[in-house]
Amino acid sequence: MRLFTIALLAVSAIIAINACDDDDKPCSNCPNNDLISGEYNPQPYNLAVPSFFPPPIIPADNPLTVEGVELGRRLFYDKILSADGTMSCATCHLPEKSFTDGNAVSTGILGIAGRRSSMAIVNLAYNAKGFFWDGRAATLEEQALLPVEDHIELNESWPNVIEKIRNHADYPLRFRKAFGIDRKSEITKELAVKAIAQFERTFISADSKYDKVVWKNEGWFTDQEERGKMLFSSKNRKL
């Protein structure tokens, strides 16, 4: 009887070691749980660039693909990038406000006001002079790493975000489709920001009155607009 109990305990211990729970905890004993199966056949994304624009700056190691842009779009709007699940990139960069938040300075998840105003993230693929108001991020990929861990923005850590993405029902397959990885453990912050940067490079604004008058020679500024343009471009504050 005692032998039987020991045998039973041993069997259940083996079952416990091999158990692959399908819940959202990472399963370190189960290598197969790490595999992502699905097709990898990325399609080039056709960026419709207005004829009067310079060629977009696309890094050789991050070409635009339909799958990458779509993944980036989802990440940009996803609140899992913040510590308490209340904010995404889009909270401060709203499409209906030219991708700003319309406030003088932006406020992050802790309710602390930042020092600067959110920027209109349009035509970024044509900017070679650095990102942020002071140009401190050289590339869009580098820029996208920062808001997640900024305490007065999303106040999350990248290891946490990556853990949430690896355990997500939908993201692992999307990372495979965009970047050809075979395992959830190959999902990294570098790939996440590549996807976000791809999405951001598709934002083109080329049909404002300014664009029409300056680039397309369509119509004229009013006298007041002309004065405003001169004032805006002038280094002489006394104008």
Residues that bind ligand HEC (CB under 6 A): 81, 87, 89, 91-93, 106, 108, 114, 116-119, 121, 124, 131-133, 140, 143-144, 147-148, 153-154, 196, 200
In Å, how far from its chain's centre is CA 100?
A: 15
- Shortest reach from residue 90's CB to ligand HEC, in Å: 8
Give the DSSP H or E segment for 72.
helix 66-76
Q: Which is nearer to ligand HEC, 65 or 155 (CB)?
A: 155
- Rank residues 62 and 118 by Cβ distance to ligand HEC and give the closer one: 118
What would you measure as the largest C-alpha separation in the chain, in angstroms?
100
Using the minimum distance from each CB to ligand HEC, give the nearer residue, 73 or 212: 73
Q: Least Å distance between CB 190 and ligand HEC?
A: 14
Q: Which residues of 101-123 are buried (b: 16+ CB within 10 A; e: fewer)?
A: beeeebbbbeeeebeeebbebbe
Q: Give the nearest distance from C-beta 129 to ligand HEC in angstroms.
A: 9
Cβ 158 vs Cβ 117: under 8 Å: no
User: Whole-number minimum distance, CB 238 to ligand HEC, in Å?
Assistant: 28
CA distance 208 to 97: 14
Give me the least distance between CB of 197 and ligand HEC, in Å please: 8
Bridge partners (DSSP) of residue 183 are: 35
- Can you tell me the distance from the alpha carbon of 78 to that of 83, in angstroms, rounded to the nearest whole number? 12
Residue with Cβ nearer ligand HEC (97 or 116):
116
CA atoms of 147 and 171, how far apart (whole Å): 20
